[in-house]
Amino acid sequence: PIPGFPQELTTVRVQDPRVQNEGSWNSYVDYKIFLHTNSRAFTAKTSCVRRRYREFVWLRRQLQRNAGLV
């Protein structure tokens, strides 16, 4: 923390799994992702979206690939 500047916090919750297209060959599970932050890097301080598991896999790979850049 820098004196005089508030500490930036980001909270992410993954919850509410739902089966979509249940009973068909192309069924899948998606999850509700809720984000709350006070970070100046985000214009929206709260957001909520639904995403599939495979999108988490994609995000993890992107973060790993770019980890050396951070």
Structural domain that includes position 24: 10-67
Predicted confidence at residue 46, as pLDDT, reads 95
Identity at 66, one-letter amino acid code: N
Has residue 42 got a pLDDT over 60? yes
Of 53 and 3, the structure prediction assigns the larger pLDDT to 53
39 in a structural domain? yes
Has residue 43 got a pLDDT over 70? yes
Has residue 67 got a pLDDT over 90? no
Identify the CATH number of the domain in which residue 28 sits: 3.30.1520.10
17 in a structural domain? yes
Predicted confidence at residue 18, as pLDDT, reads 95
Helix, strand, coil percent content, the chain, rounded in steps of 5: 25, 40, 35
Q: How many domains does the chain have?
A: 1
3 in a structural domain? no
pTM assigned to the model? 0.67
Q: Which residues contact 31 (CB under 8 A, 6 or more apart)?
A: 14, 15, 16, 17, 18, 50, 51, 52, 53
